[in-house]
């Protein structure tokens, strides 16, 4: 299956994508993780992305579209993938549509985790405090508030893009973790 997981920072996309990755044997592709690895390795993309990420802005579309286009050609994505954190705006969604069409591939579904925005900051701060790797550079309250604004302005419209295509499945991300996984599986018919 080829899936997208949508939802604001702190909605639980990463956790749920990992569970579905295990369940279906398809790769979770997190642009955030890939960019953080590039920053740590100080690659040219990492150096370009570092400050943008630290303040919670989006890195340029062509950078993430290029990363995803290359990654989904890898052999481990042949049976499918879950895009986590991509697309982040309508231009990226349109670029993804064109890219998949060129590769002769199609999406099966887009799962949107819906969460009350009021709980997100606390959820992310708790996650940061509990993380074995320590807090992320963009997990400060200031960067977080900005990430949520960017989400509202740029990423929220992506849902409508996929709704028009009949691919959108909304799942209540406020349930406990196991219940969310069950709802996602049900929405995908697996």
Tokens of residue 76, six digits? 């481990």
Surface-to-core class of residue 178, CB atoms within 10 Å of its CB (0-12 exposed, 13-18 middle, 19+ buried) = exposed
Say how far residue 145 (Cα) sits from the centre of its chain: 18
DSSP 180: H
Among 53, 95, 113, 184, binds ligand AMP (CB under 6 A): 53
Q: Are 90 and 157 in contact (CB under 8 A)?
A: yes
102 tagged catalytic: no
Q: Is residue 12 within the footprint of ligand AMP (CB under 6 A)? A: no
| From 55, 123, 136, 185, active-site residue | 136
Kindly name the residue from 19, 27, 88, 169 that is annotated as catalytic. 88
Euclidean distance between CA atoms 147 and 103, whole angstroms: 32
Candidates 29-37, 106-114, 117-125, 159-167 — which segment interacts with ligand AMP by CB under 6 A? 29-37
- Residues 149 to 188: which contact ligand AMP by CB under 6 A? none
Distance from C-alpha of 154 to C-alpha of 134, rounded to nearest angstrom:
28
Region of 31-39, 156-164, 168-176, 177-185 interacting with ligand AMP (CB under 6 A): 31-39
Q: How far is the CB of 189 from ligand AMP (least distance, A)?
A: 27
| Token digits of residue 75 | 């052999």
**Catalytic positions, written as ranges:** 13, 88, 127, 136, 147
Task: Return residues touching ligand AMP (CB under 6 A).
Answer: 9, 31-32, 35, 52-53, 56-59, 64, 85-86, 88, 92, 138, 147
């Amino acid at each position: 299956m080829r899936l997208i997981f949508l939802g604001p920072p702190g909605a639980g996309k990463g956790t749920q994508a990992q569970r579905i990755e295990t369940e279906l044997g398809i790769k979770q592709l997190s642009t955030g993780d890939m960019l953080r690895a590039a920053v740590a390795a100080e690659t040219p993309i990492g150096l370009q992305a570092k400050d943008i990420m630290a303040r919670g802005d989006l890195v340029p579309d062509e950078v993430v579209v290029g990363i995803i286009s290359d990654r989904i050609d890898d052999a481990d994505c042949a049976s499918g993938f879950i895009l986590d954190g991509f697309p982040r705006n309508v231009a990226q969604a349109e670029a993804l549509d064109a890219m998949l069409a060129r590769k002769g591939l199609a999406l099966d579904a887009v799962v949107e985790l819906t969460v009350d925005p009021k709980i997100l900051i606390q959820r992310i701060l708790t996650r940061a405090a509990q993380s074995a790797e320590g807090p992320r550079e963009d997990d400060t309250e200031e960067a977080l508030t900005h990430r949520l604004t960017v989400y509202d302005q740029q990423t929220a419209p992506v849902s409508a893009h996929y709704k028009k295509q009949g691919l959108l499945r909304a799942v209540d991300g406020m349930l406990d973790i196991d219940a969310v996984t069950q709802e996602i599986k049900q929405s995908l018919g697996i």
